[in-house]
Amino acid sequence: MLFIPDTAPCPQIPLGTLDTAWMPEVSRLNLVVIARDRHIRTKPGELELLRAFGLRVLWIGGKKDLTTWDSLVRIVRRWPDIEALIAARSHGPWFYSVNDADLREIVTY
């Protein structure tokens, strides 16, 4: 199951919940995060929580911001790769960039 921050489909994590509060809950629920935050890799506190809670993160990569539609298209295009990754690496922490051509692991330490 996937979790997209700042959306409302997960009743255990209300809309607007701070990152430091939803991260442990996402880990407990064994969800995979899909993120669009361009600066997520430069936030030391959040990276420490990512590692501490063993989060699995898919970041929609790119040099420019994508529209919501373009982000969705990218995720759908890479869906077979995403399913294979989750099956192969069921435990975190890990952080992958979802690019047009592939998925790439990003080292976060």
Position 98 scores a pLDDT of 95
Contacts of 13 (CB under 8 A, 6+ apart): 3, 22, 25, 26
Nearest to 92, CA basis, from 80, 73, 74, 105: 105
Q: What is the mean pLDDT of the chain?
A: 84
**74/45: higher pLDDT:** 74
Position 109 scores a pLDDT of 57
Contacts of 63 (CB under 8 A, 6+ apart): none
Q: Which amino acid is at 49?
A: L
**95/36: higher pLDDT:** 95
pTM of the model: 0.84
Nearest to 36, CA basis, from 68, 78, 81: 68
Residue range 9-18: mean pLDDT, rounded: 79
Nearest to 37, CA basis, from 69, 60, 17, 64: 60
Position 3 scores a pLDDT of 58
Residue range 59-84: mean pLDDT, rounded: 90
Q: Which two tokens stand for residue 78?
A: 């890479």
Residues 17-67: pLDDT tens digits? 888 888 888 888 888 988 887 666 677 777 888 889 999 999 997 777 888
